[in-house]
Structure 1
């Protein structure tokens, strides 16, 4: 135990930050040892979700449908936007800080001097809380990769892999084949593995075959039909799997071009466990209609239009750009952007350049982030190759996401659009006072 026993969640989190010299140290050995001492196990079916993008949406849709089916569902996701407690939900409610404290104590007692990272320690604490919450189903989101992520200490009854693209390459490998191999590590022999990436690298398929997983691939074992894209909720789509079919489905409440792909993977995952977790067509319809997930192409009512999105790698930003294109005409787009230093900011700026008229680069409250000035410098260096000419696009630097947003509001007309995107810290920095309802200086 620490010298003085922490008595609050903030004290425990500060303690976790001091235990290991590295923020990320991919290995399961330490976590497995502590999990065994904790006697950590789940009695209910477990869905484990990995992927480069789409994990959060997939978890949210699984949760929403299962809740509508009447099940008691526990969810673990990461990172959080504003408050740590957001990482854990039980029966649709964010867990209270006090409820986590005994599980932090249990992990501290069980670790026996093991040097756990912040993520490993907190993951074990949340997993322990979920394991004793009398759940009917658990949905666990992988933090990074899959094979060596702390979440993988739990055997998935159904593994779900969303998209596979280039991100965290320092840890997962230089290409999609290497990254896919890491993500495929959440699969288990003889158990279902759903892959919703339309073109997964061969390493994913090869690993599933090597261990004898029951592989379900998009376009092979399940598919959907319907006009993708747009925000027209009146449009319908249908889905077909190995043994089930759903017709006349409304579009998911989550906006964006890839949500039908994510929803298709969700329905395939539910199909694999339908004998243990029967779900009606009405529960599917209600769950997809009611699902919410802050910060994923979230459009805030008011003037100017405000869009919040945690897209922070080139693959996610390409989807974001597609979604923005489908929103209609806005005279100007103002973009608040902050990112971690290990992200390919040049590729992100290059993809967004045709859509953005004014940049507001922001510092973030973590040493792992690029500074606003560094991002602005990268933008200036790249301006020529990005096709940006002086006078067409502006760039300024700000100390925080909220300060950057206020600067954008000061410059925006009511008919403009403001985009806040990048790191979870960027969007969280705007959401920390609650969902903003802001007004441009020219309104009212």
Structure 2
């Protein structure tokens, strides 16, 4: 794996990230053998924290952010592992709302390198082990682990978890997880543990997910059956699992994910007051989720049909007096047609941006579904033109991929790379 001339002890964070990006596993290899072996050597198969593993197709990051915010409002220390990052690799690990210093990441990466021996690791596996090492050192009361891909064979699944949650089940990553909800639901249910409470926030849980929970002896609590929520557009209410809460503030993140997070809390050993819950809901934030960078520039990481449909619902509710200008960049392995369909009626002008890399879709590919769109080689070029075209009453909404949002954010913030 030696792709840097620096010794492990002298590497900066930028050096380590170059090493990770140069790992020799050329494709995703699903499986836990490598992770389990290295985690075992490092003593990371269990953590001195209450571990909640969060899986699902959409809503994992927002559910983690909502849980984090409410738990912290209740006075609990919280660690979060989430991916991908947008601008700074350190975004992947949060400890009590902040990010570890670069030196701490370097120490964690060096510990993984020393322990792995001749075991090859992927970028995500290496980073996950480093995050677990940081959590063991910090020992927060609660650790929230966001699944990277699927669940059953995901790197996060080597850790002994105390609770699990599956947010939603929809078609995404079908090359890896299967081409139907039943197959995908089974993969997501792979994070369940015997005797440990699990929550499902999908109103139509696949049969195979339910059967897997039953076969394992996992207490499974489902929305619509074990708990319910309702909103009048100004406030919302949660009922079930021993919690009956009314007049809750609408968070900036999806209410359905807030309900899932509350169900997880209801099944946990942590007891929060209504005031603490309300404070956590009000304060929860997550970059890239229908985020207004300026009054005229919005970004959202929606990148599959389910998340695009939710974005369309939110976008339709925005009070826009002028035009909606849509800037889209996507990966070619996503369901581009179905992801664009709910947004086409809402967008007045399209700016099609190519994404770099082998997975990136060119503007010409996007134009197969949006022939009326203007084509650009990069997100930056599309953004410059869209902003120039944007009138005082118009808005630009950039979406389609984490890469798209990251490039827009980089243009807006001019944030330098981590060192």
TM-score normalised by L of structure 2: 0.94
SS of the equivalent of 1:216 reads: strand
1:212-233 per-position Cα deviation (integer Å, ceiling 9, x unaligned): 00111101111112225xxxxx
Provide the residue aligned with 1:416 in structure 2: 394
Q: How does 1:285-364 map to 2 (within 5 A)?
A: 285-302=278-295, 305-364=296-355
Distance apart, 1:329 and its partner CA: 4.2
Q: Provide, for residues 58-80 of structure 1, a one-character-per-residue CA deviation record: whole Å limited to 9, x for no partner.
A: 00000001111111110000001
Selected match of 1:153 from 158, 162, 170: 158
Query: Do structure 1's residue 26 and structure 2's residue 19 form an aligned pair?
Result: no
1:72–1:135 CA contact under 8 A, matched in 2: yes
Tell me the C-alpha RMSD between the 2 structures.
1.6
Mapping 1:96-245, distance limit 5 Å:
96-228=101-233, 235-245=234-244
CA distance in 2, matches of 1:208, 1:377: 42
Q: Larger deviation: 195-204 or 330-339? A: 330-339
Return the alpha-carbon distance in structure 2 between the equivalents of residues 85 and 250 of structure 1: 30
Match of 1:442 in 2: none
> In 1, Cα distance between the equivalents of 2:381 and 2:132?
36
TM-score by structure 1 length?
0.89
1:48 corresponding residue in structure 2 = 53
Gaps of 5+ in 1: 229-234, 381-393, 437-444
Whole-Å separation in 2 of the counterparts to 1:22 and 1:167: 21
**3-12 or 58-67, which deviates more:** 3-12
Q: Is the contact between residue 150 and residue 188 of structure 2 (CA under 8 Å) also seen in structure 1?
A: yes
Q: CA deviation at 1:433?
A: 4.7
- Relative distance call for 1:160 and 1:435 in structure 2 (3 A) is farther
Deviation at 1:241, TM superposition (A): 2.1
* CA spacing shift, 1:432–1:326, aligned 2, 3 Å: same
Aligned partners of 2:320 and 2:394 also within 8 Å: no
Cα offset, 1:297, TM superposition: 1.1
Deviating runs (4+, > 4 A) in structure 1? 433-436
- Corresponding residue for residue 257 of structure 2: 262
Aligned length: 409
What CA distance in whole angstroms lies between the structure 1 residues aligned with 2:83 and 2:284? 18
Which of these residues, 405, 416, 419, is aligned with residue 383 of structure 2?
405
Measured after TM superposition, the shift of residue 406 of structure 1 is: 1.4
1:271 aligned to 266, 270, 284, which one? 266
Separation of aligned partners in 2, 1:287 and 1:39? 33
**Partner SS, residue 52 of structure 2:** strand
